[in-house]
Amino acid sequence: MNCKYSLVVLICFLLVLSVQSQTNVIRPNIIFILTDDLGYGDIGVFYQNIRKQKNNPTEPWFSTPNLDQMANNGAMLTDHYCGAPVCAPSRASLLSGLSQGQSNVRDNQFDKALDDDYTLGNVLQKAGYHTAAIGKWGLQGHGDGPDWPAHPLKRGFDYFYGYMRHRDGHEHYPKEAIYRNKATVWENYNDVTSPLDKCYTGDLWTAAAKKWIMEEQKDKQPFFLYLAYDLPHAALELPTGPYPSGTGVNGGIQWTGTPGHMINTANGIPDSWIDPMYMNATWDHDQNNASPEQPWPETYKRYATIVSRMDQYVGDLLALLKELQIDRNTLVVFTSDNGPSDESYLPAHQVPNNPNFFNSFGPFDGIKRDVWEGGVRVPAIVTWPGNIPSATILSAPSAFYDWLPTFVEAVGLPVPSFSDGYSFFPLLTGKLKTQSRSVYIEYYQKGRTPGYKEFDSSHRKRERNQMQMLRINDTLAVRYNIQSASDDFEIYQINTDPQQVTNLALTVDETYQQEFFKNKVLQLRHADTSAKRPYDTAIIASTIKSVAVTKGISWKFYKGNYLWIPSVNNLMPYATGNALKFSGVKLKKNKEGIIYYEGLFNAVSDGTYEFQLETNVPFLMKMYEINLFNQDFSFEKSKIYSSTIYLKKGMHPFRIYARKDQGGKQLFSVSYKSQDMKTAIPVNSYKIVD
C-alpha cells in the first residue's frame, strides 16, 4: 500500500477513535436539502392543503405529496426562520452557525468569501464525516477555479458539484441558457459544463446527489450532504419531460455519465414540459360565479410544475435511502433559504410571477427581502426514523444558525461556543417540550413591500431600507426604514397574530419593552464595516443593576481533548476557583482542556472601548452574546488581538473560553483602551458576582 495513503487512513482512523471516545451515540448520516425562494405557503402541509380543503375557485392550489409524507413521518418546524430574507447571507448564516448580527456575509453580498472559520462542513469533518456540497454555492469570493478563497473544498467539503457563482443560479439550463447567460457547472476545481446538454439543474443535482450517496453508503464512514437547489428561483424554466418512472437505486432520476446525455432526462426539448395536473387548470379570476373560469396563466402552471418536480426529488431521495437500508440512520432536513420571490425571467408574453397567486407566503405578510414573517419564516421538515417521532409539530422558534449546534448534538458532541444558535435536538427527539430562545435578523434593501391585497394595509408598500427583526419566544419586534438606534419597534404577539396586524406598541404602554428590545438587539450583534447600520455605534446599556461584586474573575476548568471550544452549559467542571487576574489560575501541566472565565467589566463612563487580548492558546471572548474575539479555528500565536465595543457606564458581563494544552505556562492577558484613558488598563478592573 502507498505510504501516503496509509498515513491518511491512519489519521482518519485516529480521528474516528477520538470522536467515539467523546460519545457513544450512533452518528447518523445527514442530508440537508435547501431550496431557493420556496415560500412557507408552497408546501401542502404548511398551507396549500388548507386552500385545497376550502375548494375556493378563486384560490388555486397545488400538491406536494412526498413532502407531506415526509412531515407525517417526522417533524414539521412551523416557526423556523432563515438567516436573512435573501440567499447569500441566509446561506452564510446556515453554514457558519452565526446570525446576521455576526456573520461576515450580510445584505446583498453575493459571491463574497465565507469566513475561513468553522462551517457545517468542517465541523462534521472533524466529527469523522465525509462531506459533499452539491448545487448552488455563491460564497466563494473573488478568483477562479483553485484561486477562489472560499471554494467549498476550502470550507469543509470533500467534494463539490454545482454552480459556484451566484449569477449562475438564475439559469436552470447551464449549456442552453434559455433566458439568461450561459452558466458554469464545476466538479471540485474543474469546469464540467461541456457535456451537460439539456441538463435541467434540479434533475442534475438530484442525479449527482443519488450517485454520491450510493458511492458513500459503501463506506462505514458517516456522510453529510449539503444539497442546495437553485429552484424555483427567478427563471421559471421547465424540465424537458415527465419525471422518470420509479424511484431510488434503479428508478427516478439517474446519472448515466454519457457526454451529451449525462442524466436520463437529458432529452426532449428544454423548457417545454408542464405537469398534466396543471396543464388545464382553471380558476375564478374575477370572483364571479356567473362568468366562466379562465385557465391559469402559464407563469403559474410553470411554478406549480417546478414545485411538484422538487417534491418528486425528495420522494426519490428518501426512497433511495430506504432501498439502501440506511434510512433509519439518516437525518434528513428540507427547507428554503428565504421567502417567496416576485422575480421571474420568462418569455415577454408571460405575466409576471406574483407570489399572491398561490399565497406562497402562507398566512403571513411579506416576501423575499422583507423581514415580515412571509420573508423570513420558511417551511422546515426533519426526519430520522426511530429517533424523531412521527407527526411531530414543533412551534418553538428556531433559525438557520441553529442547525450547526443541532447536528453537533445529534452526533453526540458538545455544542461549539462560537455559534449564535441553540441546539433544538432535544426538541426534535421529544426530550424537551419547550425551549426559551431568541431569533435575530438584520438586513438592508431598497424598495418596498408589495401592495398585495392579501397583506394588512399597514404593510403594503412599506419602505424597507434598514430592517431588523427580533423574536423572543412568542413576542416579536420589527423595525423598517430604521434611522437611528432610538427608533421604536413594532411589537407583535406572533403566536396569536401571525399576520402582524395588531402592533401592541400602539395599543398599550410598551415603554419598558421598547427599551428592552432596543438594548437587546445591540447585545446580539457586532458592527461590520462592509454592511453599515445606523445603530453600529449605539452604546449598550448595562443589564446589571445592583449586585455585590468583588475584584477578580471566576474560572472553571473542563478536562478533555475537545475538537472545538465548546459551550460549557452542559459540561461538568474538573476544577473551579476565583482569581484576581488570569495569570492567577494555576492548573497541573498534564491536564488538557478548556478554561472558562466569567465576570463583569466595569465601564467607568459611556463610550468606546477597545479590548486587546494576547495569548498563546486559541480562545473566544463574548460580551453579552457578541463574539468580541473568535480565535479558535484560525488562531495565530504572538499576535495581539483587538476589538471595539460601545458601552454605557456600568457593569457588563463577559465570558472567555481558552484552550489549555498539556504543556507549560499559559500566557493570557486582557486590557482595554477607552476615549478617556488612552493607556492599557490591567485586567483586575474586572469584577465578579460575590
The residue type at 100: Q
CATH of the domain at 659: 2.60.120.260
Cell of 681: 488598563
pLDDT at 25: 66
How crowded is residue 142: how many other Cβ atoms within 10 Å of its Cβ? 11
pLDDT at 546: 66
Q: What angle (nearest 5°) sits at the alpha carbon of residue 208, between those of residues 333 and 202? A: 70
Q: Are residues 415 and 450 in the same domain?
A: no
Q: Decide: 115 and 154 in contact? Cβ < 8 Å.
A: no
Q: Decide: 366 and 449 in contact? Cβ < 8 Å.
A: yes
pLDDT at 276: 97
pLDDT at 274: 97
pLDDT at 13: 39
Query: Per the structure, how many domains does the chain have?
Result: 3
Domain that holds residue 675: 549-689
Banded model confidence at residue 42, pLDDT cuts 50, 70, 90: very high
The gap from C-alpha 673 to its chain's centroid, in whole angstroms, comes to 35
Q: Are residues 516 and 554 in the same domain?
A: no
Residues 6+ positions from 507 with CB-CB distance below 8 Å: none
For residue 348, give the 3-state DSSP assignment. Answer: coil
Alpha-carbon torsion (159, 165, 166, 170), positive or negative: negative
Cα separation, 96 vs 404, in Å, equals: 8
Q: b or e along 592-629 (b: 16 or more beta carbons within 10 Å of the residue's beta carbon)?
A: ebbbbbbbbbbbeeeeebebbbebbbbbbbbbbbbbbb
Cα separation, 275 vs 243, in Å, equals: 9
Looking at the chain, the whole-number percentage of residues with pLDDT higher than 70 is: 93
Residue 13 lies in a domain: no
Residue 261 lies in a domain: yes
Cα-Cα end-to-end distance for the chain: 62
Single residue among 505, 523, 541 that ends a domain in this structure: 523
Q: Are residues 644 and 513 in the same domain?
A: no
Banded model confidence at residue 615, pLDDT cuts 50, 70, 90: confident
pLDDT at 579: 86
The model's pLDDT over 652-668, given as tens digits with 9 standing for 90+, comes to 999 999 998 776 566 77
Q: Are residues 165 and 34 in the same domain?
A: yes
Q: Is the pLDDT of residue 303 over 80?
A: yes
The gap from C-alpha 11 to its chain's centroid, in whole angstroms, comes to 30
Banded model confidence at residue 18, pLDDT cuts 50, 70, 90: very low
The residue among 582, 596, 608 whose CA lies nearest residue 672 is 608
Residue 540 lies in a domain: no
- HSE (CB half, 13 Å, CA atoms) of 216? 24
Q: Are residues 226 and 289 in the same domain?
A: yes
Residue 162 lies in a domain: yes
Q: Are residues 348 and 274 in the same domain?
A: yes
The residue among 385, 466, 473, 470 whose CA lies nearest residue 434 is 473
Single residue among 417, 437, 457 that ends a domain in this structure: 437
Q: What is the mean pLDDT of the chain?
A: 92
Q: Are residues 54 and 102 in the same domain?
A: yes
Looking at the chain, the whole-number percentage of residues with pLDDT higher than 90 is: 80
Q: Is the pLDDT of residue 220 over 90?
A: no
Q: Is the pLDDT of residue 11 over 50?
A: no
Q: Are residues 499 and 565 in the same domain?
A: no
> What mean pLDDT is predicted for residues 514-523?
96
Residue 286 lies in a domain: yes
Cα separation, 57 vs 282, in Å, equals: 8
Q: Which residues on neighbouring strands pair with residue 594, listed in sequence order? A: 558, 659
pLDDT at 665: 62
Q: How many helices (H) and strands (E) does the chain have?
A: 13, 31
Q: Decide: 375 and 346 in contact? Cβ < 8 Å.
A: no
Residue 9 lies in a domain: no
Residue 541 lies in a domain: no
Q: Decide: 569 and 556 in contact? Cβ < 8 Å.
A: no
Q: Are residues 382 and 433 in the same domain?
A: yes
Top pLDDT among 45 and 672 is at: 45
Q: Is the pLDDT of residue 176 over 90?
A: yes
pLDDT at 152: 98
Q: Which range is most confident: 202-206, 614-618, 669-673? A: 202-206
Single residue among 383, 414, 437 that ends a domain in this structure: 437
Q: Is the pLDDT of residue 59 over 60?
A: yes
Banded model confidence at residue 679, pLDDT cuts 50, 70, 90: very low
Q: Are residues 576 and 681 in the same domain?
A: yes
Q: Is the pLDDT of residue 208 over 60?
A: yes
Q: Is the pLDDT of residue 511 over 90?
A: no
Q: Are residues 383 and 486 in the same domain?
A: no
For residue 491, give the 3-state DSSP assignment. Answer: strand
Residue 226 lies in a domain: yes
CATH of the domain at 425: 3.40.720.10
Q: Decide: 113 and 154 in contact? Cβ < 8 Å.
A: no
pLDDT at 20: 44
Q: Are residues 417 and 556 in the same domain?
A: no
Cα separation, 668 vs 658, in Å, equals: 9
Rounded to a whole number of angstroms, the CA Rg of the chain reads 26
